[in-house]
Amino acid sequence: MAEPEFDPRWRPTADLAHELAGQFGTPLYVIDENHFRNRIRDYISAARQADPNSEITFASKANSVLAVLKIAHSEGCLIDVASEGELRAALAVGVPASACHMHGNNKSREEIEFALSVGINQIVVDNFEEIKTLAELKATTPLVLRLAPGVLPITNEKISTGQQDTKFGFSIHDGSAEKALLQSLNSGLQVEGFHCHVGSQLLDPEAQISAGQRLAQFAAEMKSTHGFITKVINAGGGRAVRYTNESPIALSNYCQQLAQGVRRALEGTGLNPKLVQEPGRSLIAESGVTIYTIGSIKFVESPSGGTKRHVIVNGGLADNPRPAMYDAKYAVETVAGDARELGESSSATVSGRHCESDLLFDQVMLPNDLQPGDLLIVLTTGAYSSSMASNYNRYPRPATVLVRDSGPVIVQRAESYDEMLAREVLPEGI
């Protein structure tokens, strides 16, 4: 069953959009605090109603702005980090390492040593080299083995990670998963269970449910064959959000189906592991928008006949690479830069300012009377915009503003040109 027929995405009112653009400039990432907190509360409630022995971990790769991490932890999430940098970000806002899980498919020895030194709660082991390193370091930290369950989800192939030939984890199919478990146990490491993540933006939950079941079946096999008691099954994240007109399955149904699938596979085994989920996008994406200012508007002849309208904004590939990487679609709205009312709409192409085609959104309906200086608001950009931003064409990265009951506040300053150039070293004699 899909979510109810209403749009739960957050967007600013016209007055607030004007205020934010005027006070902080554009392009601008904006996150609504109450919306984000409510999404977390809803998810935790749904997970625990489906299975009281549930845990929610926020996938910080979706958005690792410090204020976002602080809010997620304050609402009861553990923090999933995929690098030393993401771990340091969590530590910087007072999230204890004991509330963090460390991922990564190519962790360096230095990253592992740092995580162990600060008391990481759990390391998700991805490969045999990591097992060797952890054994050499005599690690006593709880470990979870990342497994490839051989499930191919319905999503963009670039964000599909659970198939048999994925670069992530140990394959169940070819025996690597069992070998990894035995090698870890024989090395004296503290394995607690198993993890998988099959992909992102999953409208159909069947792949994640199937993957959770496969982990549970593997856990049952490892108990039967080797006497291993699984304490943790982590089914990852991936539930879809609304970018345009998608209809994700209702959160309560999603959690119920996942929990029931895992528990059915464990029936009769005596195993009662903690069921962990790792949502990132589905917690933060719909709580955020990006505000751009429209610059030039061009009308050009199309080779197929007719005229194409290019609406060009003061951002693009560097602050949101997902359209270029995944052909990602977004809903866009407009606000006049003055008090005038905008009229009827027709098809337009929204392009960015970078030295590529930098096509952001093609064939979207925009008012015919848009003018330079009007605002374009892109919905559902709370995830994978700020965290994937770059300095392409030497554009500084945008600010992030948090909308609070007391008013909007900066939580990540816009990058200055001096900050952008501070890493450069010019040798003498050039």
Enzyme catalytic residues: 355
Question: Going along 302-423, which residue ranges are E strands?
Answer: 307-313, 332-335, 345-351, 359-367, 375-379, 399-404, 407-412
Please count the CA atoms within 13 angstroms of the CA of 192 that sit on its side-chain side. 20
Q: Can you tell me the distance from the alpha carbon of 28 to that of 292, in angstroms, rounded to the nearest whole number? A: 7
Please count the CA atoms within 13 angstroms of the CA of 53 that sit on its side-chain side. 13
3-state secondary structure of 407: strand
Read off φ and ψ for residue 188, nearest 5 degrees.
Answer: 85, 15
Q: Which amino acid is at 134?
A: L
Contacts of 378 (CB under 8 A, 6+ apart): 289, 290, 291, 292, 320, 330, 331, 332, 360, 361
Q: Which amino acid is at 201?
A: Q
Read off φ and ψ for residue 106, nearest 5 degrees.
Answer: -150, 55
Determine the distance from the C-alpha atom of residue 9 to the mean position of all C-alpha atoms in its chain, rounded to a whole number.
16
257 CB neighbour count, 10 Å cutoff:
17
227 CB neighbour count, 10 Å cutoff:
8
Fill in the DSSP letter of residue 3.
P
Q: Can you tell me the distance from the alpha carbon of 70 to that of 284, in angstroms, rounded to the nearest whole number? A: 13
Q: Can you tell me the distance from the alpha carbon of 342 to that of 17, in angstroms, rounded to the nearest whole number? A: 15
Q: Can you tell me the distance from the alpha carbon of 401 to that of 322, in angstroms, rounded to the nearest whole number? A: 21
* CB distance 18 to 375 below 8 Å: yes
Contacts of 323 (CB under 8 A, 6+ apart): 317, 329, 330, 359, 360, 361
* CB distance 24 to 390 below 8 Å: no
Helical H segments across 304-355, by residue range: 322-326
